[in-house]
Amino acid sequence: MRSYSLIAPAKINLYLEIIGDRSDGYHELAMILQSIDLADQIDIHPASTETIRVHCNHPQVPTDNSNLAYRAAALMATKFADAFRNFGGIDITIKKRIPVAAGLAGGSTNAAAVLVGIDLLWNLGLTFAELEELGATLGSDVPFCISGGTAIATGRGEQLSPLPSLDHIHIVLAKYRSLEVSTPWAYNTYRQEFGGTYIRDTANLADRANAVHSGEIVKAIVNKNTVEIAQKLHNDLEKVVLPAYPQVLHLRELFATQPGVLGTMMSGSGPSVFAIVESAEQAEIVKLKIREAIPDQDLELFVTRTITHGIKIAP
């Protein structure tokens, strides 16, 4: 039986609005998600026994059943028990490039790659829609990571509406290796501080979520206007994360002062911060300037760009 190597891209948020509470305990969100070419590689091999094993080159990534990639394989083994018995176990090797605990959907995109890889390995013939439905049971970002590109995400983030894909935007991304921000903490703190502004009526929640479809940033995306996109970046979670994490705030402020930076924002619940820049050449210059300003080797810096796809087979 053949093996598969898959490219699993990270994602950033171009827009994140918290609208209100949902009956399931999550937040009702309106987001614009974007794939970038900073990616992990996931190698999937058949195993001789009915076991699931995860290997990773990054010491912070767990390899037990707490790993989302492991849980994705276990989900497939449960849902397609006959195929699991027929084809045997799975060996998963994660070659990590996406920073860990960065707000870039690193775990989610790994899980998405495992779903796609096992579908191929076991000849299941699942559609992207079917894979996304499975992925939604693992985490809100997994469905987007499967298809990737550019999309509006509503609900808790799993309801996707594709937008015209962006493949021309250059980005510099920064993240302190040792710094983590708890996503539940970020959302719970936002609820504590701003819950009084939440929309309570279910119909109004839906109307507010749908309003992003006609928003100014969507128009800029449709027109592929990089300057407008950069000017319309928005993330509600910055209101609670930036005051609590001065390193993240400093990164954002530093990016904003660099020539050639069109806009900057924290991605998701952080602590990654990205800047949209004018060109690939300018991105390298901005990366150098940030490194000169912050020589701390705990700070990881990446030059990347937007891409039009999610999980794909490695060339």
Q: Which residues are known binding-site members for ATP?
A: 99-109
- Burial label for 222, CB within 10 Å (0-12, 13-18, 19+), is exposed
**Bridge partners of residue 59, in order along the sequence:** none
308 and 34 in contact (C-beta within 8 Å)? Answer: no
**CB within 8 Å of 254: residues ≥ 6 apart:** 290, 293, 294
Span 199-218, average pLDDT? 74
Treating both helix axes as pointing N-terminal to C-terminal, what angle do 68-79 and 106-121 enclose, rounded to 10 degrees? 30
Which of 1-5, 22-26, 50-54, 89-93 ranks highest by mean pLDDT? 89-93
Q: What is the pLDDT of residue 286?
A: 98
Q: What is the pLDDT of residue 202?
A: 66
55 and 40 in contact (C-beta within 8 Å)? Answer: no
Q: What is the pLDDT of residue 32?
A: 96
Query: Does the N-terminal peptide bond of residue 271 adopt cis geometry, omega within 30 degrees of 0?
Result: yes
104 and 11 in contact (C-beta within 8 Å)? Answer: yes
Span 70-89, average pLDDT? 95
Q: How does residue 23 score in pLDDT terms, banded at 50, 70 and 90?
A: confident
What percent of the chain has a predicted confidence (pLDDT) above 70?
97
The answer, yes or no, to whether residue 104 has pLDDT greater than 70, is yes
For the chain, domains (ranges, CATH) are: 4-166 (3.30.230.10), 169-306 (3.30.70.890)
What pLDDT, in 10s, does the model give residues 112-136?
Answer: 999 999 999 999 999 999 999 999 9
Q: Which residues are known binding-site members?
A: 99-109
Q: What is the pLDDT of residue 58?
A: 92
Angstrom distance (rounded) from CA 147 to CA 157: 14
Is the sign of the CA dihedral 115, 154, 165, 102 positive or negative? negative
The answer, yes or no, to whether residue 156 has pLDDT greater than 90, is no
Distances (CA, A) of 142 to 11, 16, 98, 121, 126: 11, 17, 15, 19, 16
What pLDDT, in 10s, does the model give residues 254-280?
Answer: 999 999 999 999 999 999 999 999 999
144 and 153 in contact (C-beta within 8 Å)? Answer: yes
Q: What is the pLDDT of residue 203?
A: 67
Catalytic positions are 11, 141
Closest to 266 measured CA to CA, from 95, 38, 16: 16
Pairing of strands 234-235, 4-21: parallel
